[in-house]
């Protein structure tokens, strides 16, 4: 059975004392924990796949990863978006080797097996050489169990028993919509995907985007001096910024200043919006809060920054490396020059050479490098900011919401991680790999 093939699982709780706010950095380093993560965090969770604007027509496809599993996301002839494990059922060759494109079917480059847009095996060269009991119906592509869309963002999960995406997002959807629902026509992504590799565990990035406003003043000090509209540097602009942090029991998190003067957005994008209209559409709390210079993570590894226009995935590539994939998200309705202004602004700030992006990556990579040391590895870290001192309710915001300067959402992220790590996933309760399919 699959279960018999699964290595014994570690108690993730042994590495985290969430209640005391103490974390053992081996969770970023340990190969066994990493394998357990692929099995129990990535395989059962809803994971971001693509933006629907990448797949406007039947036959349009995009290749990505769910955890370390390659998948191809494709719009079928019936216009339904499906996702398949991107590996041929014959010898396991990577089936689709392009990043994106349009096709009528997928032909394997090793021996030529061909699959249609619904994953059916439709062509087998030298088929007469196979025995009578060989049935192409048994050898279609493995399909991602559930694929759903929230306001243009397409997510998938291998877990046939997963709750609907909207339930899995919970209150997080309200915060996401400050970015995704600014305009009735919705959003699109512009000009492809930017990808780069970072030394560092994927959780370092996901956790920071969920929770960490604290680093902004220090890590991004020089960038803030350049960006500051007053030219006075970060102290007056960012230090003690009033703001809120949202913590979800589902592991998601978001933090944001609560005054529009906290905006550091591009002038062209700022002028594009009619803020009175936005307040009417989304409510003042959302326009003055999550629409400003904030950050967010949808558990486990999808993050975004509304003002910078970036959406991104932290793809795990082993315990000590991640691949960052980023898209620029804009309102469909924006004039082309505003879209391009948003794209350039994103590139300047959070592109691979962006003035903020480089600061974050440097910190994560150094943390990872330090974690290699034997003694470092056994020296726990502090996650106590805000612990027990906040009243985590604000009538203007849904869910658990407290002060911006807090580790609450990081503790929430790791609590969710620990719970999933310690819970057998659906596939561990089935006896055959096929048994876990719908
Ligand atoms: Fe794909 Fe052989 S591995 S056809
Ligand atoms: Fe940062």
pLDDT digits (tens, 9 = 90+) for 79-125: 999 999 999 999 999 999 999 999 999 999 999 999 999 999 999 99
CB 384: neighbour CB atoms within 10 A? Answer: 14
pLDDT digits (tens, 9 = 90+) for 417-437: 999 999 999 988 766 555 444
* pTM of the predicted model as reported, rounded to 2 decimal places: 0.95
Per-residue confidence (pLDDT) for residue 393, from 0 to 100: 84
Per-residue confidence (pLDDT) for residue 1, from 0 to 100: 40
Mean of the per-residue pLDDT values for the chain? Answer: 92
Closest C-alpha residue for ligand 1 atom 2:
111
Token look-up 């905006």 returns: 263
Per-residue confidence (pLDDT) for residue 258, from 0 to 100: 87
Per-residue confidence (pLDDT) for residue 438, from 0 to 100: 37
Cα–Cα distance measured from residue 95 to residue 113, given in angstroms and rounded to the nearest whole number: 9
Q: Which ligand is nearest to the CA of 113?
A: 1
Percentage with pLDDT > 90 across the chain: 80
Which domains can be identified in the chain, with CATH numbers? 47-148 (2.102.10.10), 171-421 (3.90.380.10)
- Inter-residue contact 438 to 157 (CB < 8 Å): no
**pLDDT band at residue 292 using 50, 70 and 90 as cut-offs:** confident
CB 40: neighbour CB atoms within 10 A? Answer: 23
First to last CA, the chain: 18
Distance 77 CA to ligand 1 centre (A): 24
- 42 to 14, 36, 157, 267, 375: CA distances (angstroms): 20, 9, 8, 39, 30
- Inter-residue contact 234 to 220 (CB < 8 Å): yes
Is the model more confident about 309 or about 7? 309
Cα–Cα distance measured from residue 105 to residue 88, given in angstroms and rounded to the nearest whole number: 13
Q: Decide if pLDDT at 323 tops 90.
A: yes
Mean pLDDT for 14-40 is 96
Token look-up 């019936």 returns: 78
Q: By mean pLDDT, which of 91-100, 352-361, 391-400 is the weakest?
A: 391-400
Residue from 84, 110, 123 whose mutation best tests the ligand 1 pocket (most atoms within 8 A of CB): 110
Q: What contacts 358, CB < 8 A, 6 or more positions away?
A: none
Nearest to 148 by CA among 49, 250, 58: 49
Q: Is the CB of 16 under 6 A from ligand 1?
A: no
Closest C-alpha residue for ligand 1 atom 3:
91
Helix (H, G, I), strand (E, B) or coil at 294: coil
- Inter-residue contact 205 to 322 (CB < 8 Å): yes
Q: Is the CB of 90 under 6 A from ligand 1?
A: yes
CA angle 329, 334, 336 (to 5 degrees): 90
Distance 313 CA to ligand 2 centre (A): 15
Per-residue 3-state assignment (H helix, E strand, C coil) for 78-120: CCCEEEEECECCCCCCECCCCCEEECCEEECCCCCCEEECCCC
Cα–Cα distance measured from residue 316 to residue 225, given in angstroms and rounded to the nearest whole number: 33
Tokens representing 290 are 């999550």
CB 138: neighbour CB atoms within 10 A? Answer: 10
Mean pLDDT for 361-373 is 95
């Amino acid at each position: 059975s699959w279960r018999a093939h699964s290595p014994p699982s570690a108690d993730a709780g042994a590495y985290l004392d969430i209640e005391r706010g103490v974390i053992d950095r081996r969770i970023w380093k340990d190969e066994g924990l990493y394998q357990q993560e692929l099995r129990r965090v990535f395989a059962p969770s809803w994971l971001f796949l693509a933006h629907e604007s990448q797949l406007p027509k039947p036959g349009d496809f995009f290749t990505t990863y769910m955890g370390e599993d390659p998948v191809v996301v494709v719009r079928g002839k019936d216009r339904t978006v499906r996702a398949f494990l991107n590996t041929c059922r014959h010898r396991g060759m990577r089936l689709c080797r392009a990043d994106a494109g349009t096709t009528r079917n997928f032909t394997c480059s090793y021996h030529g097996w061909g699959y249609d847009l619904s994953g059916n095996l439709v062509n087998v060269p030298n088929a007469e050489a196979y025995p009578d009991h060989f049935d192409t119906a048994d050898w279609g592509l493995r399909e991602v169990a559930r694929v759903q869309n929230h306001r243009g963002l397409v997510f998938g999960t291998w877990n046939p028993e997963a709750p609907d995406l909207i339930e899995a997002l919970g209150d997080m959807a309200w915060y996401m919509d400050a970015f995704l629902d600014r305009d009735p026509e919705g959003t699109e992504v512009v000009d492809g995907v930017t990808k780069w590799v970072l030394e560092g565990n994927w959780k370092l990035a996901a956790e920071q985007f969920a929770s960490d406003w604290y680093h902004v003043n220090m890590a991004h000090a020089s960038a803030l001096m350049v960006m500051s509209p007053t030219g006075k540097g970060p102290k007056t602009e960012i230090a003690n910024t009033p703001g809120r942090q949202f913590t979800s029991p589902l592991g998601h998190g978001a933090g944001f200043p609560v005054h529009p003067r906290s905006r550091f957005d591009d002038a062209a994008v700022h002028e594009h919006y009619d803020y009175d209209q936005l307040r009417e559409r989304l409510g003042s709390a959302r326009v003055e809060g999550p629409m400003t210079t904030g950050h967010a993570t949808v558990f486990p590894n999808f993050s975004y920054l509304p003002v910078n226009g970036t959406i991104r995935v932290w793809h795990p590539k082993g315990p000590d490396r991640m691949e960052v994939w980023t898209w620029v998200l804009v309102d469909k309705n924006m004039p082309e020059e505003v879209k391009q202004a948003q794209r350039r602004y994103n590139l300047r700030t959070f592109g691979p050479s962006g003035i903020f992006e480089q600061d974050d990556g440097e910190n994560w990579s150094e943390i990872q490098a330090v974690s290699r040391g034997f003694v470092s590895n056994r020296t726990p870290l502090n996650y106590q900011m805000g612990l027990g001192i906040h009243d985590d309710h604000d009538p203007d915001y849904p869910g658990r919401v407290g002060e911006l300067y807090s580790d609450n959402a990081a503790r929430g992220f790791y609590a969710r991680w620990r719970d999933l790590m310690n819970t057998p996933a659906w596939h561990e309760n089935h006896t055959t790999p096929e048994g876990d399919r719908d």
